[in-house]
Structure 1
């Protein structure tokens, strides 16, 4: 079992990672009932953040619906284009802590959906 100070240090390092400027892969998915407890559609400007980020966000308890990351705004930038989205879900299939899964409409603001995956996109909380 980790000492309380070790847990706080771990959370602080994770928080620094996700609160700073992040670079990861961006894909898109078909939204539905998200981990934040809301139903969303393909036309909503939302994002599912990597499970590692979602699960380790400071203040996260046992109920994902009350995770403080829910509804946080994120600005995603890629090749001179940007989109602002709200955290609505947890991406279990995102391998990197900084990877994101956007709604189709949000993804289309950055690139054509036929591209499928955007590598090394920049994002941060706004």
Structure 2
């Protein structure tokens, strides 16, 4: 089977685009508000506690559809940086009131990046 030059170039470009877009999504840094909440049964279908290093990802990025227990983002880890430091947490829930880029953390996780008395702080995060 012969492939002309245009077909080879088109195939190469498709592979390159798929490879670089998948890679850049993982490395991208997001920003928004960091808050904390009382952890319990999350949208991923598991119970967690306030002393666990877990988080609820904002609804626009969580993109729940159908059964949220089967969301591919459940149990993924993110690295969140705030005014006091950085913490790695597991996504176990959805924050319906959070805007794109924002993360709702367990109290023990929030303490790693800010004081609880701050309540809401500016954060950046990326997939760990």
Same fold (TM over 0.5): yes
Tell me the equivalent position of 1:33: 41
Please give the TM-score of this superposition, normalised by the length of structure 2: 0.77
Tell me the equivalent position of 2:92: 88
Indicate how the Cα distance of structure 1 residues 32 and 80 shifts in structure 2: closer, same or farther if over 3 A, else same.
closer
Matched, 1:122 2:118: no
Runs of 4 or more, structure 1, over 4 Å off, are: 16-19
Among candidates 103, 107, 111, match of residue 104 of structure 1: 107
Bigger helix fraction: 2
Please give the TM-score of this superposition, normalised by the length of structure 1: 0.78
Q: CA RMSD in A?
A: 1.9
Unmatched runs of 5 consecutive residues or more in structure 2: 1-20
Unmatched runs of 5 consecutive residues or more in structure 1: 1-12
Q: Could you list the per-position Cα deviations for residues 1-33 of structure 1 after superposition, in whole angstroms to 9, with x for gaps in the alignment? A: xxxxxxxxxxxx9xx778611011000000110
Greater C-alpha radius of gyration: 2
- Contact in 2 for aligned 1:50/1:99 (Cα 8 Å): yes
